[in-house]
Homo-oligomer: A and B are copies of this chain.
């Protein structure tokens, strides 16, 4: 099985990290195709970043989905997920979606713990979008700045563990989702220092992508995720125009 892991951020170091975690958590025989955005920002943190990132996701999927059995939107917050699910015939899952739904099977209420205060608003809108507000205990974010997005988890490890513990103690979380692709792999490192299950978004996403691929769901020909009618589109790469069904592209 081949799974496309599309990082809509421009940080190669983050792609490397999430690819490694994806490979470490994939089943035998699953191949991870990891690609990095050539357009956009180093990491998506705001609504404005996500507005850019949602198109980036579609471009990456257009370029690389052929031959894959499923695809992952490799940014927590899932930019472009709904559109990707319309355009592609293979299953697509987002990091946040996969992590939150997996968390729902491990506890009643989950908290999202992340490394930057700027991520909160976008994450909150993501939880609301997925209709999971009643399952959310809290979103906990570190204050202050960090040195390097590629190593933020090592730099902030102790603070993040403390934040997880506070979410359990003060917000009554049964399970913690470590939010943000740059935190991929951290769950495994610190599992024994937090008293509830931790969910790694990348690990959850790769397993959920495998699950969806294994179930071989048909592409909808009705409902809101049927392939949209072909339409003309201007100013986007040819591969993406083709996904939109543009024959003039």
Which A residues have a C-beta under 8 Å from some C-beta of B?
Answer: 10, 25, 27-28, 38-42, 45-52, 54-55, 57-58, 79-80, 82-87, 91, 93, 97-98, 101-102, 104-109, 118, 120-121, 125, 128-132, 134-135, 168-169, 172-175, 191-192, 195-200, 203-204, 207-208, 210-212, 214-215, 217-218, 220-226, 228-229, 231-236, 243-244
Contacts and interface: CB of A to CB of B under 8 A. Distances in A.
A169 B222 contact: yes
A195 B223 contact: yes
A203 to B, nearest CB: 6
B212 A106 contact: yes
Contacts of A97: 104-105
A235 B101 contact: no
A82 B125 contact: yes
A40 B51 CA distance: 14
A239 B118 CA distance: 23
A159 to B, nearest CB: 19
A104 B98 CA distance: 10
B224 A120 contact: yes
Contacts of A221: 195-196
Contacts of A226: 195
Contacts of A217: 106, 175, 197-199
